[in-house]
Structures are given as structure tokens and as C-alpha cells.
Amino acid sequence: MYAIIETCGKQYKVSEGDVVFFEKLEAEEGKKVKFDKVILVSDEGKVEVGTPYVKGAKVEGKVIAHGKAKKIVVFKYKAKKNYRRKQGHRQPYTKVEITSIKLAAEKKETAEKKTAAKKEEV
């Protein structure tokens, strides 16, 4: 089972047990976080696509740590003009372990009924 969620202005493909690095989230270490903006959920070949989000679907995770990524160097330079600017940047991140992906109970039941009805027809 996996899901595609939207958070921090980006989309991430996550599944249970994954450890994902998000842009800095406002949550303390050890606390749970919920992601309600679920774009797609795939469960054993059954794909549920939202318009724009899947209703009732939630992805839960646990904040493991906060930190900063490796430093990158931003260097501006103009030839023959004695113009040079050097600047460093370290992007803050939040390390999150995905604990569960939940679909709405109604959606699961209706999907199961549809597959059972199709099997009876065949």
C-alpha cells in the first residue's frame, strides 16, 4: 500500500514504514503528524484517485528529528568586473517516519462490494 501526499508545496510518494525528509514542519520531535492532503492511494492494485484529494484518507507519521541538510555554496561571479559574492545555505528539514495510511471506512466497503459484484457477474 502506498499513497501520494501533498505537503510543503511538494508531492511525495510514501508507504508504511518509510522515512521521509520534508521541509521544516512545525511539530516537536516524537509527536505525531497527520497529512490530510492525500492525492492518490493504491491498495493491492486498487487505485483511488482524488479530485483533488481523496476524501477521508489520512497518512500519519511520527517526527523523528529536525536538522539541516549539507551546506551548498552559492557563488555569483561576473568576468572582468571584479564582482564576486560567496554565500552558503543549509536547508532545514524534518525527518518523519510514516506509521499508517488510512482510507475512509465507507470507501473500503464500497470498493469491496464492487469487486464482489464483478466476481458474481463473471
Predicted confidence band of residue 108 (pLDDT cuts 50, 70, 90): low
Strand extents, DSSP E, the chain: 2-7, 10-15, 19-23, 32-35, 38-43, 46-49, 58-68, 72-78, 83-89, 92-102
Predicted confidence band of residue 114 (pLDDT cuts 50, 70, 90): low
Query: How confident is the model at residue 44, as a pLDDT?
Result: 86
What distance in Å separates the CA atoms of residue 2 and residue 6, rounded to the nearest whole number? 13
**What global pTM score does this model have?**
0.75
